Amino acid sequence: MIRSTLRRVTPQLIILALILALNMVMFPGFFHVEVHNGRLFGNLIDVLNRGAPVALLSVGMTLVIATRGIDLSVGAVMAISGAVAASVITGGASWIVAVLAALGAGALCGLWNGVLVAVLRIQPIVATLVLMVAGRGIAQLLTEGAILTFNDPGLVRLGGGTILSLPTPIWIWIGVAALVGLVVRRSALGLLIEATGINERSARLAGINARVLLIAVYLVAGLCAALAGVVVAADIRGADANNAGLWMELDAILAVVIGGTSLLGGRFSITASLLGALIIQSVNSAILMSGMAVEFNLVIKAVIIITILVIQSPRVRHWIYLLRASSGPGPMPRQPASRTPKIEEGRP
């Protein structure tokens, strides 16, 4: 199990190592970690800590993408859940209630997406686009466009606190990923999700309750987004409905794709998506540490990401495979010239 996972994520590990090495070149003290008033302090910790929102999102997004879907609304859901948590806590409730309320809001959003996709059979991009557009409005409605600040120590600890010297967000995303990963892989859910993503019609006829499964998957994505929203709000001690999670859905999708899960659904790996999230965060951190003029941020990011994606593309991987194979004995195996089929969602 662990060995096969390791084999699966080797490319991502190599890329992560390369990017971290790049960081090291850019900033020699990059790997330096020290304890600063009871808190681990260093760039590496920052990568793990700052990667938390995208890592959390990518857990849910991986499952959604495995079913051949996509969830564009997670950024907006982050804003909603942050706003809910903030308004509950400023209303005087305890932080636990606030977190539960935020999770409830996230679940509701996920449910809405799930129903649109699974019951009303709207294509996922469009279905989640609705909430992406409207969701931020809902969040702003809650905060009335202002940043709703709070100081509740319990809630703040979720973003800025530490447990055993390690920032709480790191614990949260590792915990959530482990939980979801375990549930999915130790039960038959993973198999059923993959079957649904590969061929929903066959899956239904084989007795899989695809409808419930789809709803569940969007629900998980909503919950993960809600948690990410709480972490981000707790981090700045305020719900910034205008900006929280803005465009973060794209980073989450990117993380999943860098993790090697196909946008056409099917086989997925949560571990690989998490590595994808860390890769993205390391790129961001490299840009910040480089001290380069801001105009170049996006170009650098684009070039690095394009390079990663090209290296990971099926065709280039195949060339690498061929190179390796041709150095060994035996005939040179080849793959059939099948083109990647297009995104083809839930045909009637």
Partner 1 sequence: MKHSMKLPLYITVATFVLAYAACVAQYPNMLSSRVIANLLTDNAFLGITAVGMTFVILSGGIDLSVGSVIAFTGVFLAVVLRDTSLHPLSAFALALLIATVFGAAMGATIHYLEMPPFIVTLAGMFLMRGLAYVLSTESVPIDHAFYGWLQSLYWQAPGGGRFRITGLLLLVTFGVAMVVLHRTRLGRNVYALGGSAQTAQLMGVPCARTTIAIYAISGGLAGLAGIVFSLYTSAGYSLATVGTELDAIAAVVIGGTLLSGGSGFVAGTFFGIMIMGLIQTYIVFDGSLSSWWTKIVIGGLLFTFIMLQKGLAWLTTARIPRANGSTARS
Partner 2 sequence: MQSDPKPVLHATGISKFFPGVIALDDVELQLYPGEVHALLGENGAGKSTLIKCLTGAYPRDAGVIMLDGAEINPKDPLSSQAAGIGTVYQEVNLLSNLSVAENLFLGRQPRRFGMIDQRRMLRDSKDILAQYGLSIDPAQLLSSYSIAIQQIVAIARAVELSGKVLILDEPTASLDREEVELMFSVIRRLTARGLAVVFITHFLDQVLAICDRATILRNGCVVGTRKLAEVTQTEIVTLMLGRQLEAATHHHERRETGDVLLSLRGFGKRGAIEPFDLDIHTGEVVGMAGLLGSGRTETCNAIFGAQPADQGEARLRGSPLRISTPREAIRNRIALCPEDRKTEGIVGDLSVRENIILSLQARQGWYRPLPRAKIEEIAQSYVKALDIRLANLDTPIRLLSGGNQQKALLARWLATEPQLLILDEPTRGIDVGAHAEIIALIERLRTQGMALLVASSEMEELVAYSTKIVVLRDRRQVGALTGDDISPNAIIRAIAAEEEPRA
Partner 3 sequence: ENETVGFSQIGSESGWRAAETSVTKADAKERGITLKFADAQQKQENQIKALRGFIAQGVDAILLAPVVATGWDEVLGEAKDADIPVVLLDRKVDASDDLYLTAVTSDTVHEGTVAGDWLKDAVGDAQCNVVELQGTTGASVTIDRKKGFADAIASADNITIVRSQTGDFTRAQGKIVMESFIKAEGGGSDICALYAHNDDMALGAIQAIKEAGLKPGEDIKIVSIDSVPDMHLAISKGEANATVELTPDMAGPAFDALEAYWADGTQPEKWIQTDSTLFTQDDDNEAAYENKKALGY
- For partner 1, the binding residue among 137, 178, 186, 243 (CB under 8 A) is 137
- The stretch near partner 1 (CB under 8 A) out of 35-43, 95-103, 126-134, 185-193 is 126-134
Q: Are 225 and 52 in contact (CB under 8 A)?
A: no
- Residue 320 contacts partner 1 per CB under 8 A: no
Instruction: Give the 3-state DSSP-derived string for 137-206, with helices as H, strands as E and coil as C.
Output: HHHHHHHCCCEEECCCHHHHHHHHCEECCEEHHHHHHHHHHHHHHHHHHHCCHHHHHHHHHHCHHHHHHC
Closer Cβ to partner 2, 146 or 188, answer by number: 188
Q: Which of residues 6-65 bind partner 1 (CB under 8 A)?
A: none
Among 297, 301, 312, 322, the residue binding partner 3 under the rule CB under 8 A is 297
What Cα–Cα distance (Å) separates residue 193 from each residue in 73, 186, 267? 21, 13, 9
* 34 secondary structure, DSSP code: E
Q: Among the candidate windows 23-31, 158-166, 190-198, 261-269, which touches partner 1 by CB under 8 A?
A: 261-269
Q: Does 152 bind partner 3 (CB under 8 A)?
A: no
Give the containing element (helix H, strand E) for 239: strand 238-240
Structure letter (DSSP) for residue 318: H
Q: Please count the residues of the chain.
A: 348
Taking CB within 5 to 8 Å according to partner kind, which of partner 3, partner 1, partner 2, none is near residue 209? partner 2
Paired with 240 in beta bridges are 147
Pick 140 or 209: Cβ nearer partner 3: 140
Phi, psi dihedral angles at 36 (to 5 degrees): -125, 120
User: Closer to partner 2 at the Cβ: 307 or 335?
Assistant: 335
| Alpha carbon separation from 92 to 98, 235, 317 (Å, rounded) | 9, 19, 55
336 SS3 class: coil
CB proximity list for 110: less than 8 A, separation 6 or greater:
60, 77, 218, 219, 220, 221, 222, 223, 225
Distance, in Å, from the CA atom of 118 to the CA atom of 196, rounded to the nearest integer, reads: 12
The span of 26-34, 212-220, 227-235, 246-254 binding partner 1 (CB under 8 A) equals 246-254
Q: Does 343 engage in binding with partner 2 (CB under 8 A)? A: no
Question: DSSP string spanning 248-262?
Answer: HHHHHHHHHHHTT--
138 binds partner 1 (CB under 8 A): yes
299 binds partner 1 (CB under 8 A): yes
Taking the C-alpha atoms of residue 20 and residue 94, their distance in angstroms, rounded to an integer, is: 40
Segment interacting with partner 2 (CB under 8 A) among 41-49, 198-206, 228-236, 291-299: 198-206
How many amino acids of this chain bind partner 3 (CB under 8 A)?
Answer: 34
* Cβ-based nearer residue to partner 3, 8 or 39: 39
Could you say whether residue 178 binds partner 1 (CB under 8 A)? no
Single residue of 18, 100, 174, 288 touching partner 3 by CB under 8 A:
288
Question: 3-state DSSP call for residue 120?
Answer: coil
Pick 35 or 178: Cβ nearer partner 3: 35
3-state SS assignment for residue 46: helix
Residue ranges binding partner 1 (CB under 8 A): 70, 120-123, 125-127, 129-141, 144-145, 201, 250, 253-254, 257, 262-264, 294-303, 305-306, 309-310, 313-316, 338-348
Residue ranges binding partner 3 (CB under 8 A): 27, 29, 36-37, 39, 41-43, 46, 50, 140, 144-147, 149, 160, 232, 235-238, 240, 242-244, 285, 288-289, 291, 293-295, 297
